[in-house]
Amino acid sequence: MLKLKDSVLQQNPVNLTDLLNFNTGIYFNQNGYGMVSSPAFRGTTAQQTAVVWNGININSQFNGQADFNTMLNPTMQQINIQPGGGSVIYGTSAIGGSIHLESKLKFNKQTKHFFQTNYGSFNTLDSRYQLQHATEQWSFNFGFQHNSSDNDFPIHNSNRNNINGKFNNNAIGLDIAHQINEKHQLKFYSWLFLGDRNLSVIRPSDTKSAYKNQDLRSLLEWEYEHENWRSTWKVGYLNEDFKYIQNISQENEFTANVAETFLNQYNLQFENKAWVFSVLIDANTAKASGDDLLEDRRDVAAFALLAKRRVNSKWIVEASLRQEISNLYNSPILYSLGSDYRFSKYYSMKLHTSRNFRIPTFNDLFWGSSGTTNLLPESAYQVEWGHHFERNQFQISATGFYNHIDDMIRWIPNENGIWQPENTDKVRTYGAEFEANYSKKWNSHQLQWNANYAYTVSENRDTGFQLRYVPFHKATSSLAYHYKKWSADTQFICVGEVFTRSNNQPNAIVQDYGLHHLGLRYQLFANSPEIDVGMRVFNIWDSEFQGVENRPMPGRYYQFTFNLIF
């Protein structure tokens, strides 16, 4: 698992797409800068990537994925990246991997303010403020984020700028924890996102459309600990509300849809030196209605058992089972088996296998006259074999994986030419991932280097063709250097070409590209308040590239930064 802590988050842009794209092996499908951005692991799809917020799955009930250009989380303090299947714990979508957004509430009797603002090309403004306040019994975490841009960058080999790309996003978060006594804690997390963006057009003559959405997420958690036992009860409410305006010159004519999710989760865990046992019970209800959906609901109950055994100081084995019951589909029994063994203080190895799944979304089931209620969940069998080496300040990991997916849901035209979802595709994905990092401190100097590389084959088992928008190669590298009050960093990413047609037409591809960013910061004050200023140059070689066919991205652009901590 890769962990990106608050220090990394604070040094990077508000945009989570850029943060994860340049620091992980995750591939992002981005329909233009600031437009829909969907993450995918190991040759799977965005719907097969679970996004987990403080322990609960927050993928959209409409399309089953998360748009990371709307993931402004002002109280987030850590992101955990978990490649591989995790459906037994996190439920639907965790086939390729999962992304965990976490808030931390501590009772450390401290008050801390953090403010960051970035301003740059195309009238782009990124700002965030976070307040952390704690006593012995209470902990508060409040934050606000803003992200906006005219997004009218010049397009390479063209005499025009990007058209209709303007966006304005805002988010507010409030987390509260109360230490009732030594055994009981009560926590409340809330997150409101308000998005208003135009959708960039390919040609000046195209109709200019817009998308407005409001996402509310709230979670109440009660935790009880006594000796070797821990009891955790979570109650959550998620609300998705969006409005699509087909023509911005006719703003009063639009289609709108709303989805509500009610979550109830209980976990009882027993732990001693040798064993960890856990029982997980879920009961969730999701409702959706609107102009494009037939109103309906989905009820899901789940029961899971997890066990971990520390055989000795070097060897750990674990196993888990999950069964879901729903009013709309039949779920397979899910399982996972894993083993970790440390051969020496320098080398360890892991082996893991699992069965994972993804349930049909509301769009799949109830979209107008096209939804199909007899769809099966996607089912996947997965195995991975990993190696980890570390010595002094150098670490390197290598993992091979294989994923066998059945009943993959695709929207295809029926005999009347109407597009409908069907369980059609059979897919296999396999490949290897490499991760390395090195850090060193001497005198007033500090050096930090990180690198990732992923080789991925994701092919239709019937045709042998690589899936659309899955690169065979992706590599990233970042280097940061600190000397006294100065800091400099450079980031590099290389993404291989991708096919845009399911039959892999060689003339229908998005070309490979490499991007290079450069940043410089200076610390004005080292003590409270801590103040630093800086500048970043993105795409310093002014490379022409696209993430999706006919969706150009910016060339070289600039950003000035100001950070304040007190």
289: confidence class by pLDDT, cuts 50, 70, 90? confident
Q: Read off the pLDDT of residues 223-255 as tens digits, 9 standing for 90 and up.
A: 999 999 999 999 999 999 999 999 998 888 889
Q: Read off the pLDDT of residues 317-370 as tens digits, 9 standing for 90 and up.
A: 999 999 999 888 788 899 999 999 999 999 999 999 999 988 888 888 887 767
Q: Read off the pLDDT of residues 252-285 as tens digits, 9 standing for 90 and up.
A: 888 999 999 999 999 999 999 899 999 999 999 9
Three-state SS string over 374-396 comes to CCCCEEEEEEEEEEEEEECCEEE
Q: How far apart are CA 248 and CA 199, in angstroms?
A: 10
Cβ atoms within 10 Å of 556's Cβ, excluding its own: 14
Q: Read off the pLDDT of residues 17-58 as tens digits, 9 standing for 90 and up.
A: 888 888 888 999 888 899 999 999 999 988 999 999 999 999
Q: Average per-residue pLDDT in the chain?
A: 91
Would you state the pLDDT for residue 295? Answer: 67
- Position with higher pLDDT, 376 vs 178: 178
Would you state the pLDDT for residue 368? Answer: 72
Domains of the chain by range and CATH? Answer: 2-565 (2.40.170.20)
Residue 13 confidence (pLDDT) above 60 = no
Going by DSSP bridges, is the β-strand pair 184-199/209-226 parallel, antiparallel, or unpaired? antiparallel
Q: Read off the pLDDT of residues 134-149 as tens digits, 9 standing for 90 and up.
A: 999 999 999 999 999 9
- For residue 469, the number of C-alpha atoms closer than 13 Å in the C-beta half-sphere is 18
- Choice among 352-361, 371-380, 503-512, 537-546 with the minimum mean pLDDT: 371-380
Q: Is the bond preceding residue 74 a cis peptide, omega within 30 degrees? A: no
Check: CB of residue 361 under 8 Å from CB of residue 60: yes
Q: What is the pTM of this model?
A: 0.93
Would you state the pLDDT for residue 272? Answer: 92
Check: CB of residue 289 under 8 Å from CB of residue 295: yes
> Which one, of 378, 336, 347, lies nearest residue 361 by Cα?
378
11: confidence class by pLDDT, cuts 50, 70, 90? low
Burial of 237-271, coded b for 16+ CB within 10 Å and e otherwise, reads ebebebbbbeeeeeeeebeebbbbbebebebebee
Would you state the pLDDT for residue 150? Answer: 96
Would you state the pLDDT for residue 91? Answer: 85
With a pLDDT cut of 90, the percent of the chain lying above it is 69
